Structure formats: structure tokens, C-alpha cells
A and B are shown apart, each in its own frame.
Chain A
Amino acid sequence: MLLHLLNRAPSSSSVHQDVLRAMGEEDGLMLIEDGVFGAVSAQVQHFPGLDGRLFALREDLESRGLAGRCDARVIIVDMDGFVALTEEAQRTVSWF
């Protein structure tokens, strides 16, 4: 299982499409930095079929004023949880 890191908003970059094409069925996707814009309800449709495997970093949501606007399908993790996800994954792949 791989953990993919995405730091681009779906509205500003199409790299999320490359991520989705590359992801295996067990892989997780972690939204960080501007990637967390993809976690709000109006944007989360860009990440279909990732229930239980789509994560967003809490501090990046909060720093952008999005903490209360995250879609229920997204699992919010803090930095400790981010590290835990990298422990579970065999490798981490960064997309930018």
C-alpha cells in the first residue's frame, strides 16, 4: 500500500487526475498544503471512490479557514496522524 501526497488544489492544477490514475486499490491519498482545498464539499467530487482512503491535514485546513467546511467523506488527521499513515504505507509518493 502506498500513500500519495498531494499539495495542489484541484482548481489550480490537474495533477490530481494523474494521482487518481496512478493509485492502487488499497492506496491512500493525503491532501496537504493547498491540496486541502480538494477536501471541501464543493471540490471533493474530484476524488471519487476513495471512501476511507482520503485524508486531509488538519493544520493546513485550519490555516486556510476550511476546518469547518471539510466534506464528511474526508478523514481529517493531525501531523501525528500524518506520520502514522507514512508508517503504515510501504512508500510515500509526492505529487506536485
Chain B
Amino acid sequence: MRYALLVLGGPYSHQAAHSALRFAHAAIARGHRVDTVFFYHDGVYNASHFAAPPQDEPHLVDAWCDLQRTHGTTLQVCVAAALRRGLLDAREAERHGKSGVSLEPPFELTGLGQLLDIGQTHERLITFAP
């Protein structure tokens, strides 16, 4: 089946991101495709390029990138939720006159309408909330 995950919880403050990652790997191990993860609300912090957790702790941002690299999962971030929280890709940083880029590929900024599309194009959509 085609799965999508909606992550609403920020990393290291709630279990949502950790649960979603664990679920993604379990779904893939069962032969499913986890085609898309959509980050919304505080979940957008999962895409923070500047995240630098202690080396003996799970690096959730890197873990999402690994999922994309290994399994082709698209990592979509709600642009409105991201801009409010200081997560800007190069284009948005320039547009808003900010120095520094806090959101890098493979994460991609996208509109909330994309979430509606995900609900229609994937067979399962599982929400992990704070």
C-alpha cells in the first residue's frame, strides 16, 4: 500500500516524530511504500537544518533524510507553518531578506493544499500528533 504520514509534533519535545519514524520503518519492512511525510504545526521543526542534538541521541532530522535517501520518501513541509517558525529555504530567505538557510533539501516547502492531495492519492494517511 501507499502510506503517508502526517507529523504534527516537534522533535525532542513530544514522541510524535519518533513514533512516526518507527512506524515508517515498520511499514516499509512489511512491504509497503511510505511515499510522503507531511510536517505541519510544530512538526515543521523536524526539518530544521541547524538541529544539532548530542551525538549519543537519535538525530531525528538526519533520520528523516535517511528515509528519503533510502526509500525515496518525499518530505513535505507546510510553508505557512514553517515561515512562522523561522524555517526558510534559500528562496524564502531571499524573499524575506534573511541571512542563512534553515531548511534544505530533501525537505521541501509546500502548501497545505498538498496535504489534501496526499489524502486522496495515498491509500493510508496516519497522523502522529503531540
Contacts and interface: CB of A to CB of B under 8 A. Distances in A.
Are A and B physically bound partners?
yes
Nearest to B6: A94
A59 to B, nearest CB: 7
Contact of B26 (A5, A7, A32, A79): A79
Contact of A33 (B19, B25, B29, B126): B19
Interface string A71-96: 00000000110111011000110101
Interface in A1-60: 5, 7, 32-34, 59
Bin the interface of chain A by size: 10 to 19
**Consensus secondary structure, chain B interface:** mixed
Contacts of B16: 7, 33
B26 to A, nearest CB: 4
B72 to A, nearest CB: 18
Interface in B1-48: 1, 3, 15-16, 19, 22-23, 25-27, 29-30, 32
B128 A94 contact: yes
Interface string B92-114: 00000000000000000000000
A36 to B, nearest CB: 11
Contacts of A7: 15-16, 19, 129
A94 to B, nearest CB: 4
Interface of A: 5, 7, 32-34, 59, 79-80, 82-84, 86-87, 91-92, 94, 96
